[in-house]
Amino acid sequence: MSELDQERGAERRETQFIFFSGKGGVGKTSMACATAVHLAMEGKATLIVTTDPASNLADVFGQEIGHREAPIRGTPRLWAMEIDPDRATEEYRERIVGPMRLVMPSEITRVIEEQFRSPCTTEIAAFDRFVDFMDDSSYDMVIFDTAPTGHTIRLLELPVDWSKHIEESAQHGGQTCMGPVEAIQGSKAKYDRAIRFLRDPGRTTFIFVIQAEQTPVFEAERAMKELATIGVKSTWLIVNGLIPQDAADNPLFAKRLTMQQRYLKDIARRFPMTTTMMPLLPVEIRGTAILSKVGDLLYRSPAETPPTHGPWTAAGMDGHTAPVSGKGESDHAGSRSPTDWAGVRAALTPGPTGRRLLFFTGKGGAGKTTIASVTAVRLAELGYRTLLVSTDPASHLSQSFAQEIGAEVTPVVGQPGLYAARVDQKEAVEEYRERILSEARGKYSADMLEAMREELNSPCTEEMAAFEKFVRYTTLTDYDVTVFDTAPTGHTLRLLELPMEWDRQVEIMVSTKPGTQAFAETKARFDDAIKTLRDPAETTFVFVVYPEYTPIIEAFRASQDLSQSGIKTGLVVANLVLPHGHRSTPLYDSRYGLQQKYLGGIQEKFGVPMLVMPLLDEEINGLPRLKEAAAILYGEELGDGRKADAGS
């Protein structure tokens, strides 16, 4: 028995699994970490694992974690792990290919190893590592802090998809997108066990975290229905960030409380399940002392009234409100540099080539969709023919504009010159498969067509198809500006790395062999996409943050990753900023002070122009509200040099 096993204890009952999911920014990680601390303090050997590529576990616990099971300091019986997709890929590749080197000719293993260097491998490897923990009996409890909803649904569908693909491939040509089915045949039994565990309410608890707003409620309801189609039942709801009644003396908080109460009635109707209410707290949820307090709130008796101020402001802070700039804790509201409107205009409007691609990204819940939509509306008002595209699997453009927006480009009702669309993964897959097979019919043998069909039925095809759809949007010349509302940070980085990876991958896929029309067209599109993404005269990346440590540091890390790929950040928007004039109650003052400690350092840290969008008293949904928000964010400044004035 290993030292770690001795520490945990030799005898273990069946491990219980808890999944936390929901829209980005609703507090999944905070609730998951608080639950992990609570369970460990109750004496249960607990592991918390994040499947989010932009993991924040280390930030929340205030210690290095990484791609191994790390004990959490000061909390016995608690371990944490951040699945690193790159390291998981290397481990998976070696686990599959390593034994083959002992029994197969070197030329065969070289081909198989090359196939396992495809972008597909990254997805299945991270997923495979996730499934490993459902086979591990070392812990009493394993908590999965998942990526935002759309990607979580994808993750939980993969056991079903891969098990089916392996079975079908074994029955027919024996070929998968990553080579011979024999190479991954052994995984089927593991994936089948994972399916059983996910569907077993005696082993798995699925918790959705939401806030009392339209989009999180809509997204959770949609996700629960999708999970039900694969036999996974949601059993618990946490409504987070509720404004306490004693904070309603503040006029802004009072209006938002009225909005929240309206949604609470809707939540009770839509979600007939156990529901826990969590208040908005005056501090950031970081460090085990605060997490322990949050755990006590989360698992309190329903009759208890949760405190929202008092001891929170004095205990367990551990310096976690230090400003990002590291230059002290004074109020920076008056020390920010004046807005560089010339720089903002240059970043958002077409350059010498006559077009501009705008990518809005950042941590889930920072308001990417809202700021992207507001910007698209403003540019269209100024006379630029503008297309708004969502690449987020959990897109809510339809809610933002209060009209149906699907895979086909659609005019936005009421705003001339503005069009919108979203990348629908299922439609993109069907379109991609049919295009590849149509081009191949009449050119290849029946056996080759069958091999292509099997390859295209792989779960990997979904990523390739959605990515290719994205590339097609980057190369459109029908619009002055194309605005991309992207998925949360980690998945956006994955999407933007793909042009570089797929550039080589198309050379080894059956469906895009060198010399074919598909290969030539695909490679030309990828080359064009790479060039465009790296050209600041055509492309601007905008990070949307709210002034707290985690969204700022996540965005900064992402900007550094993009920089290594030759992609520069052009603009930062600080969103959901509490206005100074509303200060009145202890909770508001605490939250306001927390934000100000970060605001002053954002622009300095990123070194690009920064815009500030205040928190409004209602959600920004529908074209009239989007136009109001556009006027607040941009005023008339963006209109200097507008296209309409140039006679277009």
Give the residue numbers annotated as catalytic, written as ranges. 25, 27-30, 52, 550
Q: CA angle, corner 334, sides to 349 and 612, nearest 5?
A: 30
274-279 vs 410-411, strand pairing mode: unpaired
Report CA dihedral (351, 546, 209, 404) to the nearest 10 degrees.
-30
In angstroms, the first-to-last Cα distance of the chain is 75
CA distance 213 to 336: 31
Going edge to edge, which strands form the sheet with 236-242?
A: 70-71, 78-82, 46-50, 141-145, 16-21, 204-211, 236-242, 274-279
CA distance 502 to 118: 8
- Distances from the Cα of 332 to the Cαs of 336, 339, 571, 591, in angstroms? 6, 15, 19, 14
DSSP 435: H
| 3-state SS, residue 235 | coil
Q: What is the largest CA-CA distance in the chain?
A: 78
Give the tokens for residue 6.
Answer: 């001795």
DSSP 337: P
User: What residue type is assigned to position 107 of the chain?
Assistant: E
**Chain centroid to CA 43:** 32
CA distance 33 to 81: 12
Closest C-alpha to 178, from 429, 461, 372: 461
Q: CA angle, corner 68, sides to 64 and 70, nearest 5?
A: 55
Beta bridge partners of 577: 614
CA distance 313 to 133: 37
CA distance 210 to 218: 10
DSSP 470: H
Helix, strand, coil content of the chain in percent (nearest 5): 50, 15, 35
CA distance 638 to 55: 35
Report which secondary-structure segment, H or E, holds 179: strand 179-180
Report phi then psi at 528, rounded to 5: -65, -40
Give the tokens for residue 285.
Answer: 């949820």
Asked if 337 contacts 603 with a C-beta cutoff of 8 angstroms, the reply is: yes
Asked if 211 contacts 364 with a C-beta cutoff of 8 angstroms, the reply is: no
CA distance 512 to 93: 23
